[in-house]
Amino acid sequence: MSKKDSEYLINRKDNQYEVVIGLEVHAQVLSESKLFSTSATKFGAEPNTQVSLVDAAFPGMLPVINEFCVKQAIKTGIGLNAKINKRSVFDRKNYFYADLPQGYQISQFKDPIVGEGKVILDMPNGQKDVGIERLHLEQDAGKSIHDLDPQNTFVDLNRSGVALMEIVSKPDLRSPDEVNAYIKKLRSIMRYLGTCDGNMQEGSLRADVNVSVRLKGSKDFGTRCEIKNVNSIKFMQMAIEYEANRQVDLIEEGKTIDQETRLFDTKKNETRSMRSKEDAHDYRYFPDPDLLPLEVSEKFIEELKNDIPELPDDKKKRFIEEFKLSSYEANILVSDIATAKYFEEVIAKMGKNKDIKLAVNWITGELFAILNSKGLEISQSPVSAKNFAILINLIKNGTISGKIAKTVFELMIDGDKDPQKIVEEKGLKQQSDPKALEALIDKIINDNREKAIEYKQGKEKLFGFFVGQAMKASGGKANPQLINEILKKKL
Amino acid sequence: MSDITKQSLTELVENIKNKKLSSRDVTKAFIDRSEKSEKLNAYITNDFTSALDKAKKFDQKPNFDLKLPGIPIAVKDLFCTKNIKTTAGSKILNNFVPTYESTVTENIWNEGAILLGKLNCDEFAMGSSNETSFFGNVQSPIDRNLVPGGSSGGSASAVAGQLSPVTIGTDTGGSIRQPASFTGIVGLKPTYGSCSRYGIVAFASSLDQAGPIAQNVKDCALLHEVISSYDPKDSTSIDFKRNHYSKELINNIKGKKIGIPKEYRVDGMPNEIEDLWQKGIQYIKDCGAVTIDISLPNTSYALPTYYIVAPAEASSNLARYDGVKYGFRAKGENLIDMYEKTRSEGFGAEVQRRIMIGTYVLSSGYYDAYYLKAQKVRKLIKNDFDEAYKKVDAILTPSTPSSAFKIGEKTNDPISMYLNDIFTVPANLAGLPGISIPAGHDTKGYPLGLQIIGKAFDEQNILNIAYAMEEKINFKNRITDWWIK
């Protein structure tokens, strides 16, 4: 299945280097409460207002798993075509930090809840499979705030204990473009599933990026560096580009690459060393004795499977088959669940005699342009799917021309107005009454006798002149097709 | 009414229900005796004033349907008690006042009990003599300068010394059974998962279990009945059908098969312990039960296994005491410096030793050799018991390899101190219930205990065996009130 990787190579003298990338994506589970406590998870709340005794690690407090978060992780695993492990184990990852109240993070180390899976990317030169190594559940830490006071660090524990899914890819990615496609695909799948809102500004989705380079054609992996906690696709791409080139330069200079953890400085657009392998923490992982191994039954998994909506890949396939869309069009419509939903609603409201192609063109053209210029998501579209469908039908059945439709569309935006009413009120209805048009054309031919004679003598270019006159006389509302037919007959 | 504090819990409950005594009479008597007993150093914090208030309130509106109607009870200072300082015997929690109540203590208050105060214990329950407490040694009511055992040393002292009619302790490796044995009283470590760990300051999560300490088996059964409950707030709590342990208590154990494991005959064990064990076997037979020689082949690995698993869990459980959120904080140059100073000054030597051991055995490169191997051995130890229980209904062993020792005798020899737990840790590792009952005295006149280990969730059975034996043994604790004169 997998086509050739999109060629992203770094050239130096005679050598061509390939970049090998693997991602550890941290996706915040969409849930009302935290992974092991009942505190709320709302973003942007006042500091330390969503903290329970468990989150703040008070003596004698015990974690209790949130079943909903487990369901969300399993659903995501299903969406990633992955193996769901019926038995998984929560471990403690021990380290000291002011915003880690327990002195350990509860995570899954040896036995994650989700095993190997696969994500399909649509790249310009074909499809590409990216392997998923695993998905595990873990707690988020709190937040240390260093810039509020010159002497002290403040700690906000609202995020402490919030459920994260760490999704680890295999080192299958080969370019910043593929990383872009991969993150967008993951986000799209999770949004379809409702398991993560994918909001990168709010930190709901962030990634550690593992980068190594090797000579093109080599089968061995180079030494990798891990770039920690990058929170936008653009920064990931910039960091990869910088890091890959840094590594190639080192190799070209005959130096070796140290396996280390690096940070991406977004202001300087460079990565810099955070800690070497030797300084790596010893997290002293061991199974959390406060929690029993997590066991889920086949039935539990099956019930979740029945609950999985149609996912982007299947939806795309169906759009192509059912609506005869091109792969390109289908991709655009399914990548965001809200777009797909809007599109399907429009199709449904258009009724029997529908022009799907026209609807697609209008969604990806006029509608996207408006949303873009207003900075809105499609879910906030000022034109409802219902009115949008009416508009497309008005074009399709000849009530208005495409040109008039654009005028109508602009008027619809303000308060989601019914296009039918706009057409009636503004008198924009296309003139399709042959008798009226005939009279109108007769008058034009009468007024332009000489030109009509010239046309008959063979000056065919003048046909356009007559069409123009007719349209002008009708105020743009005349049905162009009818005008053509009548003119041909009369001239 | 000077003999109120000599009464058993069962008698006190009866007398309150019959209105022969008021809650205030009883509460006042135990407070008076506690106040005269400062020398024992059994309390870390007392709550006497409000205990009297609560007793008065109970008497004004008594509810005799409750199982512990107006009964004053002091508890180990490892249980978090709402608005009452809870220290775990440590400087690092010296100023800690919980805003919440542990499930086990909540259960006893719900049955009408009244908090007398918080009892001394080894720091974070790490110790076998109550000598690691930040709040000082506890004296045994048995003799001057004798340890009461540990870690529930304050609890044992309080019950043996009649400062509290009963109490609850916690047992991670013997911390209920060993001090009960040392002070001539009864202590039960329930099946792991029987009593909720919610609100108990954690030492080693996979081993910790709260349990009753009492003057006799019947009191022990009654208190266990109250504290054992399924609790969704503790993921390791087990939802099984719990007995009415005190109501169902019977002394008929005819035909029961009691295993005598040969591996508990350890090198250097004093003759008097062997003699006690033989007497115990005779008592069993006198009760009409049979003894069967059995083998628990991995017993000798239990102690080393315990001293890997427990410190490993403790090293992680105690990471939260970092000076950031609550408890003691030392001033530091920066975060790391603050951590180091807080934890160096806040934790005592034994706790630090165990954190070091635990950190070591979990470190990469050592994890497989120590922690992982210990977990495997733990499984083998459990398998030994499973195998044995195909043939027997319960197992009889000595509770400790010696009687109580003098304060200071073993403080500089941690290994010798750890050896105290040799007979008690296997039950913790296997998650099984074990009860220690007083069974005799050594040549110095100090109490000695016998332990009955049962099948998981089979507390009723070991309580019954203990109840039957108790009648035959007819033990009398020699309390001279030396500390009051």
Q: Of A23, A8, A26, A300, give the one whose Cα is nearest residue A172.
A: A23
**Cβ A62–B324 below 8 Å, yes or no?**
no
Residues of B in contact with A153 (CB under 8 A): 335
Residue A276, sorted as left (phi over 0), alpha (psi -120 to 50) or beta, turns out to be beta
- Intra-chain end-to-end CA distance of chain B, in Å: 19
- A116 and A27 in a single domain? The answer is yes
Res A5: pLDDT:
46
- A299 and A315 in a single domain? The answer is no
Q: Of B161, B164, B82, B93, give the one whose Cα is nearest residue B125.
A: B93
Q: In chain A, which residue's Cα lies nearest the Cα of B359? A: A284
Instruction: Determine contact, residues A314/A189, Cβ cutoff 8 Å.
Output: no
Closest Cβ–Cβ partner in B96, B319, B339 for A59: B96
Burial of B336 (0-12, 13-18, 19+ CB in 10 A): exposed
Q: In the predicted model, is pLDDT for residue B385 greater than 50? A: yes
Residue A166: count of CB within 10 angstroms of its CB: 18
Q: In the predicted model, is pLDDT for residue B37 greater than 90? A: yes
**Cβ B362–A284 below 8 Å, yes or no?**
yes
What is the overall mean pLDDT for chain B?
97
**Cβ B335–A98 below 8 Å, yes or no?**
yes
Q: What is the mean pLDDT of each run of 10 residues along chain A (491 residues)?
A: 62 94 98 97 94 97 98 98 98 96 97 98 92 98 92 94 98 96 97 96 95 95 95 96 97 94 93 84 96 97 96 96 94 93 95 92 94 92 95 90 89 92 84 80 87 85 86 80 83 76
- A30 and A115 in a single domain? The answer is yes
Res A214: pLDDT:
96
Instruction: Determine contact, residues A84/A114, Cβ cutoff 8 Å.
Output: yes
**Given the DSSP bridges, would you call strands B434-441 and B447-454 parallel, antiparallel or unpaired?**
antiparallel
Choose the mutation target among B236, B320, B340 for the interface with A, i.e. most A CBs under 10 Å.
B320
Domain that holds residue A483: 434-490
Helix H, strand E, coil C: the string for chain A is: CCCCCCCCEEEECCEEEEEEEEEEEEEECCCCECCCCCCECCCCCCCCCCCCCCCCCCCCCCCCCCHHHHHHHHHHHHHCCCCECCEECCEEEECCCCCCCCCEEEECCCCCCECCEEEEEEECCEEEEEEEEEEEEEECCCEEECCCCCCCCEEECCCCCCEEEEEEECCCECCHHHHHHHHHHHHHHHHHHCCCCCCCCCCCEEEEEEEEEEECCCCCCCCCEEEEEECCHHHHHHHHHHHHHHHHHHHHCCCCCCCEEEEEECCCCEEEEEEECCCCCCCCCEECCCCCCEECCHHHHHHHHHCCCCCHHHHHHHHHHHHCCCHHHHHHHHCCHHHHHHHHHHHHHHCCCCCHHHHHHHHHHHHHHHHHHHCCCHHHCCCCHHHHHHHHHHHHCCCCCHHHHHHHHHHHHCCCCCHHHHHHHHCCCCECCHHHHHHHHHHHHHHCHHHHHHHHCCCCCHHHHHHHHHHHHCCCCECHHHHHHHHHHHC
Res A358: pLDDT:
95
Distance CA A244, CA A173 (A): 13
Chain A interface, Cβ < 8 Å to B:
53, 56-65, 92, 94, 96-98, 101-104, 153, 155, 282, 284-286, 289-292
The nearest CA of chain B is from the CA of A272 a distance in Å of: 23
Residues of A in contact with B318 (CB under 8 A): 103
Residues of A in contact with B364 (CB under 8 A): 282, 284
Question: Which residue among A305, A327, A355 closes a domain?
Answer: A305
Closest Cβ–Cβ partner in A61, A65, A96 for B319: A96
Residue B60 touches chain A, beta carbons under 8 Å: no
Residue B371 touches chain A, beta carbons under 8 Å: yes
**Cβ A104–B359 below 8 Å, yes or no?**
no
Residue B316 touches chain A, beta carbons under 8 Å: yes
Domain that holds residue B127: 4-256
Residues of B in contact with A61 (CB under 8 A): 198-199
Residues of B in contact with A101 (CB under 8 A): 320, 324-325
Domain assignment present for residue B174? The answer is: yes
**Cβ B320–A59 below 8 Å, yes or no?**
yes
- A27 and A149 in a single domain? The answer is yes
Domain assignment present for residue B128? The answer is: yes
Res A277: pLDDT:
77
Q: H/E element holding B339?
A: helix B335-346
Which string of DSSP letters, residue by residue, matches B208-222? --EEEEESSHHHHHH
Q: What is the pLDDT of residues A236-265, one digit of tens each?
A: 999 999 999 999 999 999 999 999 999 999
Q: What is the pLDDT of residues B125-163, one digit of tens each?
A: 999 999 999 999 999 999 999 999 999 999 999 999 999
Q: Which token pair is A177?
A: 């473009």
Instruction: Determine contact, residues B30/B5, Cβ cutoff 8 Å.
Output: yes
Res B303: pLDDT:
96
Q: SS3 of B307, please?
A: helix
Residue B206 touches chain A, beta carbons under 8 Å: yes
Q: Of A339, A345, A340, A331, give the one whose Cα is nearest residue A310.
A: A340
- Intra-chain end-to-end CA distance of chain A, in Å: 60
Distance CA A12, CA A19 (A): 13
**Cβ B325–A102 below 8 Å, yes or no?**
no
Catalytic residue among B128, B151, B157, B315: B151
- Residue percentage of chain A with pLDDT more than 70: 99
Question: Which residue among A274, A305, A336 closes a domain?
Answer: A305
Residue B260 touches chain A, beta carbons under 8 Å: no
Residue B319 touches chain A, beta carbons under 8 Å: yes
- A179 and A283 in a single domain? The answer is yes
Distances (CA, A) of A100 to A89, A326, B29: 21, 50, 47
Q: Catalytic annotation on B22? A: no
Res A220: pLDDT:
94
Q: Which token pair is B1?
A: 């009414």
Distance CA B400, CA B451 (A): 9
- The angle subtended at Cα B407 by Cα B404 and Cα B413, nearest 5°, is 90
Distance CA B331, CA A468 (A): 88
Res A276: pLDDT:
82
Distance CA A235, CA A229 (A): 10
Domain assignment present for residue B249? The answer is: yes
Q: SS3 of B294, please?
A: strand
Domain assignment present for residue A2? The answer is: no
Q: What is the residue whose two structure tokens read 């003119």? A: A487
- Count how many domains chain A has: 3
Question: Which residue among A305, A326, A355 closes a domain?
Answer: A305
- A268 and A340 in a single domain? The answer is no
Residue B81 touches chain A, beta carbons under 8 Å: no
Q: In chain A, which residue's Cα lies nearest the Cα of B233? A: A64
- A167 and A269 in a single domain? The answer is yes
Dihedral sign computed on CA atoms, order B91, B93, B96, B98: negative
Is-cis flag, bond preceding B2, omega within 30?
Answer: no
Res B106: pLDDT:
98
ipTM metric = 0.96
Residues 6+ apart with CB under 8 A from A378: A336, A338, A339, A342, A367, A371
- A188 and A299 in a single domain? The answer is yes
Residues of B in contact with A284 (CB under 8 A): 315-316, 359, 362-364, 367
Distance CA B120, CA A459 (A): 114
Distances (CA, A) of B59 to A307, A327, A465: 58, 82, 109
Distance CA B401, CA B414 (A): 16
**Given the DSSP bridges, would you call strands B72-76 and A104-107 parallel, antiparallel or unpaired?**
unpaired
Res B235: pLDDT:
98
Task: Output phi, psi for B277, to 5 deg.
Answer: -60, -45
**Cβ A290–B236 below 8 Å, yes or no?**
yes
Residue B365, sorted as left (phi over 0), alpha (psi -120 to 50) or beta, turns out to be left
Res A41: pLDDT:
95
CATH number at residue B83: 3.90.1300.10
Res A1: pLDDT:
34
Distances (CA, A) of A87 to A76, A108, A298, A301, B368: 17, 11, 11, 12, 22
- A339 and A200 in a single domain? The answer is no
Residue B109 touches chain A, beta carbons under 8 Å: no
- A45 and A161 in a single domain? The answer is yes
Q: Catalytic annotation on B102? A: no
Residue B13 touches chain A, beta carbons under 8 Å: no
Beta strands in B130-192 (DSSP E): 167-170, 186-189
CATH number at residue A457: 1.10.10.410
Catalytic residue among B140, B175, B315, B399: B175
Res B1: pLDDT:
46
- A126 and A218 in a single domain? The answer is yes
Burial of A454 (0-12, 13-18, 19+ CB in 10 A): middle
Task: Output phi, psi for B42, to 5 deg.
Answer: -75, -30
The nearest CA of chain A is from the CA of B145 a distance in Å of: 32
Domain assignment present for residue A3? The answer is: no
Residue B334 touches chain A, beta carbons under 8 Å: no
Q: What is the residue whose two structure tokens read 């039918």? A: A420
Residues of B in contact with A289 (CB under 8 A): 204-206, 236, 313
Q: In chain A, which residue's Cα lies nearest the Cα of B333? A: A151
- How many CA atoms lie less than 13 Å away from B21 in the CB half-sphere? 26
Residue B193, sorted as left (phi over 0), alpha (psi -120 to 50) or beta, turns out to be left
Burial of B33 (0-12, 13-18, 19+ CB in 10 A): buried
Residue B98 touches chain A, beta carbons under 8 Å: yes
Residue B434's beta-bridge partner residues? B189, B453
Q: Which amino acid does the sequence have at B361?
A: V
Domain assignment present for residue A28? The answer is: yes
Q: Which amino acid does the sequence have at B32?
A: D
Q: What is the pLDDT of residues B417-460, one digit of tens each?
A: 898 899 999 999 999 999 999 999 999 999 999 999 999 999 99
Q: SS3 of B200, please?
A: strand
Q: Catalytic annotation on B76? A: yes
Q: What is the pLDDT of residues A399-447, one digit of tens each?
A: 888 888 998 999 999 899 999 999 888 877 777 777 888 888 888 888 8
Instruction: Determine contact, residues B410/B129, Cβ cutoff 8 Å.
Output: yes
Instruction: Determine contact, residues A26/A236, Cβ cutoff 8 Å.
Output: no
Residues of B in contact with A51 (CB under 8 A): none
Distance CA A183, CA A23 (A): 9
- Count how many domains chain B has: 1
Q: Of B79, B319, B326, give the one whose Cα is nearest residue B199.
A: B79
Instruction: Determine contact, residues B21/B1, Cβ cutoff 8 Å.
Output: yes
Distance CA B415, CA A268 (A): 58
Domain assignment present for residue A4? The answer is: no
Q: In chain A, which residue's Cα lies nearest the Cα of B324? A: A98
Q: SS3 of B270, please?
A: coil
Distance CA B187, CA B180 (A): 5
Residues of A in contact with B77 (CB under 8 A): none
Instruction: Determine contact, residues A103/A57, Cβ cutoff 8 Å.
Output: yes
Q: Which amino acid does the sequence have at B474?
A: N
Res A2: pLDDT:
37
Residues of B in contact with A102 (CB under 8 A): 319-320
Closest Cβ–Cβ partner in B80, B363, B371 for A60: B80
- A398 and A362 in a single domain? The answer is yes
Instruction: Determine contact, residues A125/A175, Cβ cutoff 8 Å.
Output: no
Chain A to chain B Cβ contacts (< 8 Å): 97
What's the predicted TM-score (pTM) here? 0.92
Catalytic residue among B67, B76, B410, B455: B76
Q: DSSP character for B140?
A: B
